[in-house]
Amino acid sequence: MKSVNCCTSPTLRVPLKVLWRRALPTGSSIGLAALILQSALPVQAAWRAPVRARHGMVASTNRIASQVGVDILKRGGNAVDAAVAVAFALAVTYPAAGNLGGGGFMMIRRADGQAVAIDYREIAPAKASRTMYIGADGKLIEGEGSSTVGYRAAGVPGTVAGMDLALRKYGSGKLKWADVIEPARKLARNGFTVSHGLQRSLRNNRDLLGRYSESRRIFLRNGKLWKEGEILRQSELAATLARLQKNGPREFYQGQTARLIADDMKAHNGLMSLDDLKNYRAKERVPVRGTYRGHTVLSMPPPSSGGVALIEMLNILEGYDMKVLHPFSAARYHRMLEAMRRAFADRAEWMADPDFVKVPTSGLIQKSYAARWREGISLEQAARSADIKAGTPVGAEAMQTTHFSLVDAAGNAVSNTYTLNGGFGSGVTARGTGVLFNNEMDDFTSQPGTPNRYGLIQSERNAVAPRKRPLSAMTPTFVLRSDGKLWFAVGSPGGPTIINTLLQIITNVVDYDMDLQAAIDAPRVHHQWLPDEIAHEPLGLSKETQSTLIAMGHTFAKTARVIGDAHGVMIDPATGMRLGAADARNEGAAVGY
């Protein structure tokens, strides 16, 4: 194979189009226990190697944005400086989820070991009410005025405030606010080349974007859809970014941009007011911390459910000898699925904004609590979700989100997940700003017992309330080596599938010694308690593995779909090299130097 520069991806390696060899001959007769152990998916195709670099690495869903981050590192910025620049760049180049009008979570781990979680999740407007999405007929409102479409679906955005907090407290100090916004402003003003993925994304969302004049004009060219290879310029967004550069981050919440947003909301019966914007603040929180086979796991605490559920599932799996099971066997998947089922039952009952309700975080992540769950798991038979109820611990996602991970030369790292919720959020672009708005209000419990857009059942604890943050599944995560040093950072979009995507990547690395790229590219499954079915991927599990799981009582969703779009960075403990991995499921790229 041709040698490859350390900072570029090996172009001669085959992308992940995995061909699976049948583990058992067709028509073979074999006992269930043996079938469980033997039904596996040996890989025939070569995995892609991670991208390698000496100094720093950025992995995101967009190569342009990843390069922006590396350019900031080269200028002397640290991982946080670069992360803020990447976030603003994605707001331009990845409009389905990159954003100024949404929110999310950033995990920061400094080279000295200090770790912090920044919560810049959206909040409900002050005029929001418990029953605002229930119609006179007692049913959930659909279409305009619902929790998913239009002006009333948007929570007060937190991205700009979150980036400001991160940069002020944890940036290098070498680069100013205006410096990290400049690459995004240039991209918005000068434009960038429309990729095949963006063309497809805009086309697939034309019904939503076509509802609103600004979105229709900018993203659909009033019906003349963007084509691959054309240059997309966003002059209003460039002007908004220029105002942020000149006047600082509070301009978005108190300046001309805030007034434009509030005026547009008022004109279209939206709830968000100038006071809502003025009063928004991002928060620092303490990361949730667990261990898996001697490795420390640091992840996002509530109001994200991700870190708690992830650690709860890892605790359940830690009681099994996973290494003796083939990584693609029914036996391995069965144990994971049963752990997923139980953690999501707890998520539905216990998770919400900790500023409004008591969340039993410490009880849910106790090893002893996981042991009680594990005692009820049969290794031969699937449980019925109808029979699984949330446990009693002590103290008792559009899918279009996006994630990026970074590490710098000093060992500072960032794992950031942010979102508009659904692809292109509520569909609304605030007039005069170029800013797409989220539909995060759907992450509240609009009506207990009724599934949200992701099929999730959630409790009264997550009900809509003024200035409350909706529950999330975003799970930006760090895994440390047994000596306490950073090993890897990873995260993914995908609504509720985020948590299970992280579970499988971590166990792929820890239990099966996969490199980070292989761990991310490997096939995935997802179970979220209700509905009682397994989400699975095209070209994922073999027919034999599926048949074995079905014989055990599992049910598969009728249609396969892609799960997640993970991006991670790792420090090779042997060499200190920075490794980057971007998911083969999308157009992402890891870029290093």
Q: Please report the domains of the chain, with CATH numbers, ordered by start residue.
A: 32-40+286-398+474-585 (3.60.20.40), 56-283+412-462 (no CATH)
**CB within 8 Å of 401: residues ≥ 6 apart:** 97, 104, 417, 418, 419, 421, 474, 492, 493, 494, 495, 498
Cα separations (Å) of 284 from 103, 360, 412, 417? 14, 19, 18, 15
Q: Give pLDDT tens digits for 397-422.
A: 445 799 999 999 999 999 999 999 99
Active site residues: 401
Burial (CB < 10 A; 0-12, 13-18, 19+), residue 246, is exposed
Mean pLDDT of 469-481: 97
Mean pLDDT of 222-235: 97
The pLDDT value recorded for residue 452 is: 73
Answer yes or no: is pLDDT of 391 > 90. Answer: no
Answer yes or no: is pLDDT of 303 > 90. Answer: yes
Answer yes or no: is pLDDT of 305 > 90. Answer: yes
Phi, then psi, of 592 in degrees rounded to 5 = -135, 180
Mean pLDDT of 453-457: 67
Answer yes or no: is pLDDT of 92 > 50. Answer: yes
Mean pLDDT of 266-276: 97
pLDDT above 70 covers what percent of the chain? Answer: 91
Distance of alpha carbon 466 from alpha carbon 554, whole angstroms? 40
Q: What is the rounded average pLDDT for all residues in the chain? A: 91
The sign one gets for the Cα dihedral 257, 474, 424, 275 is: negative
* Whole-number CA gyration radius for the chain: 23
Amino acid at 524: R
The pLDDT value recorded for residue 399 is: 56
Lowest mean pLDDT among 51-60, 262-271, 454-463, 520-529: 454-463
The pLDDT value recorded for residue 4 is: 31
Lowest mean pLDDT among 229-243, 342-356, 447-461: 447-461
Answer yes or no: is pLDDT of 124 > 50. Answer: yes
